[in-house]
Structure 1
Amino acid sequence: MARNIGSRYTAHQILGRGSAGTVWLGEGPEGPVAIKLLREDLASDQELVGRFVQERTALLGLDHPHVVAVRDLVVDGNDLALVMTLVRGTDLRTRLDRERRLAPEAAVAIIADVADGLAAAHKAQIVHRDVKPENILLDMEGPLGPGGAHPALLTDFGVAKLIDTPRRTKATKIIGTPDYLAPEIVEGLPPRAAVDIYALATVLYELLAGFTPFGGGHPGAVLRRHVTETVVPLPGIPEELWQLLVQCLAKAPASRLRASELAVRLRDLLPLLAGIPPLEVDEPGPEESEQAPAYDEQQYTPAADEPRRRGAVPLVPGSAPDSSRDTHTSMRVPAPDELAGGPLGTARAPRAPGRPRPGSARNKAASVRKRRITLGAAAVLLCAAVAVGGWLATGGGEGDGAPQDSENSAPASP
């Protein structure tokens, strides 16, 4: 059923639901639009409404070909909504779900577009804070780029910041999607532009490998990996691209590239990537057991058979609805002693079938068993050596007589 949003817009059809609200296909004075209607409890929060109005100028002023434009912000009674340009296409998560991984040339072309959009946002002092495939839209009506990639646009600017109010999230909580969170956010530091670069590099890794570098298993374990583990190399890509990925996934924010630099470097690599097929990388198996930080009691616990892939709020017709559990998730920041458990080695290393990856619970258990077997064998050998020594000491090696010393023994009496 259609509903009015303010005095200028009409929402006709639900496109998706998320933890922050519902996305509608709507109509405005200038034609079709996407309307993100925030939840009623958010709309009734006067502090959030005030922040919403304060962000209006910055969000409306963010105009870039690779950013989904915010056309209007509506505050009307219980309605709090962002009115955005409607993109005719799909989101990057849907394409990943269909193809699993992309050819390096197409993946880099998409990420370069998003880096351009982030550069414009960062110049305007806007940090996205939730860069992930669900928030990257592919314009199917735009011209094809390198590797047959459709133009990419970044959406959902400002939503994470709006929801992350002091009243709603305490200093010990963090906002974001676990797989893409920069280490400094996990450690409780304020988000700067570098967190978007880290998240975007994580998305690029996922496009190439088919899985995120630190994801999988309990979300608390994912957070710990961001801080303690190093990323596993990807076979089959040029060294220049790998070094770029490593730099943008650096634990120290100052070591990462700026968005504008990243976009230029990625486009410089495109000729080198032409014709390289999608990588053949086996996804690491799930963790059987791994210690993780405690959770907020409101955190969603997935069913055992629930797939690992995440949903999010699509802003385009035909996209899958959002699962709502990993978008703007609120969870406790791990304590320093929880994060300082020592490096776990290389994160989520691809492995041969049936073999545990380094650092996993299975690997640790196998190591313990191996050490026990080694120690047991050593104990058996030691006991055997002691027994042989005792036998020799009692004359077992010289017949029935006493041991003889060729140099120091006295001659026998006649």
Structure 2
Amino acid sequence: MARKIGSRYTAHQILGRGSAGTVWLGEGPDGPVAVKLLREDLASDQELVGRFVQERSALLGLEHPHVVSVRDLVVDGNDLALVMDLVRGTDLRTRLDRERRLAPEAAVAIVADVADALAAAHAAGVVHRDVKPENVLLDMQGPLGPGGAHPALLTDFGVAKLIDSPRRTSGGRTTAPTTRIIGTPDYLAPEIVEGLPPRAAVDIYALATVLYELLAGFTPFGGGHPGAVLRRHVTETVVPLPGIPEELWQLMVQCLAKAPASRLRASELSVRLRELLPMLAGIPPLDVDEPDEPEQPEQQEEPAADPVRRRGVVPLVPGSATDSNRDTHTSMRVPGPDELAGGALGTARVPRPAGGHRPGSARHRAETVRKRRLALSAAAVVLVAAVGVGSWLASSGDTATPPAQDGKNSAPARPAP
């Protein structure tokens, strides 16, 4: 069913749904467009509408070949919408779900494109704040790049900033944005978890996490309860991925540094990645398995069950459901220092060889116990066999002729009569 969006656009069909709104295939004066219609509760927030209008010039001025351009911002009654270029293709999450992991050359080519987009945005003073595979679109009509990668475009600029801003409570007071976290847990930089204002470096951390995920098939600190995911970002060190050149690994480590100042700028990251492309040609996808899910403590209350397990998807608010397209851009309070101090759920996820189990996991312990039992059984069989042989030798010795005695301790022979 078609619906009017403002006076210039018509939305025809839904392309996808997310936590911030719904994306429609639309038509405008200049042809097909994508229309992101924000949720009604957001559209009814007058302060948010005001920020929406203030961001108009910054968003409309962001033009780059690897950015999905915002053509218009519509405020009309209950409708609050971003009108964007329509990209003929799919998102990176869909490709990752289909292929599980990408060859290093293709993964690096895609991430280099996104780094170019971030460099342009950061130069214009815009921080994306929600870089993840769902927000990277692959242009299937564009020319193929290194490793057969389609051109990558970054979308959803401005949505995080619009939602994550101070708001006035019913008493007229303003809530501080640092009292809660906006974003997707697997890709959140440590400084966001600690409640610091997000700068350009948070996008570099998130993009390096995306690159890790494209190579490994899972994120370095994801898995388990969302509180554990946030804690790992702050306290744990990323575990090396086997099978990639050392130069690429060191680049990823630098961009995943806990200190924002230690990370590369987007423009530097793009140049470094493209320099590495020649040495990655022909390297197949890595042969590693996803780590076992961290065990939940017995007293931990389980979140609402999700009928389909999806990588990189955990609701930040316990009991809430994830969105159908894995867009988990929601909010939660900033954890306290005691909650970030580590503990049983604060261990990093260790990549393991194909077919193996993560050391310390339930499956690894069960396998260790099984091997130990087999070893003990084998030892018991050897012991029983040894005892049997000893008994047989002892019984054989009872019937044999006794050995001749020497003359030192024997009685003298009696003369013959």
| Alignment match, 2:350 | 349
Superposed displacement of residue 8, structure 1:
0.4
- What is residue 110 of structure 1 aligned with on the other side? 110
Q: Which amino acid aligns with 2:334?
A: V
Give the C-alpha shift of residue 133 in structure 1.
0.2
Q: How many residues were matched structurally?
A: 353
Q: Structure 2 CA distance, aligned partners of 1:269 and 1:35?
A: 37
Alignment of 1:13-412 (within 5 A): 13-167=13-167, 171-289=178-296, 301-303=303-305, 305-310=307-312, 322-323=323-324, 326-341=327-342, 347-351=348-352, 355-358=357-360
- Residue 393 of structure 1 is matched in structure 2 by none
Which SS does the other structure have where 1:125 is aligned?
Answer: coil
**Partner of 1:122: helix, strand, or coil?**
helix
Quickly say closer, same or farther: Cα 1:42–1:191, change in 2 above 3 A.
same
Higher Rg of the two aligned structures:
2
2:391 corresponds to which residue? none
Letter in 2 for 1:67: V
* Contact 1:228–1:344 (CA under 8 A) maintained in structure 2: no
Report the residue type matching 1:23 in the other structure: V
Q: Deviations over 1:25-73 (max 9, x none)?
A: 0000000000000111111111000000010000000000000000000
The Cα shift of 1:354 comes to 6.7
Q: Please say which of residues 203-212 and 301-310 is displaced more in the overlay.
A: 301-310
Partner deviation per Cα, 1:235-261 (whole Å, 9 max, x = no partner) = 111000000000000000000000000
CA deviations over 1:171-228 (Å, ceiling 9, x no partner): 3210000000000000000000000000000000000000000001111110011011
Matched residue of 1:113: which SS? helix
AA in 2 matched with 1:47: E
**CA 1:354–1:102 in structure 2 vs 1: closer, same or farther (change >3 Å)?**
closer
Deviations 1:324-370 (A, max 9, x none): 67522211211112212379886210236574435x68889999xxx
SS of equivalent to 1:102? coil
Gaps of 5+ in 1: 313-320, 368-414
| 8 Å Cα contact 1:9/1:26 also seen in 2 | yes
The one-letter code of the counterpart of 2:309 is P
* CA separation of 1:311 and 1:185: change in aligned 2, threshold 3 A: closer
* TM-fit CA distance, 1:305: 4.9
TM-score for both structures, normalised by structure 1: 0.80
So what's the TM-score if we normalise by structure 2? Answer: 0.79
The alignment's C-alpha RMSD in Å is 2.7
Distance in 1, matches of 2:221 and 2:312, equals: 14
Distance 1:324 1:143, change over 3 A: closer
Is the 2:24–2:35 Cα contact (8 Å) retained in structure 1? Answer: yes
Percent identity (aligned): 84
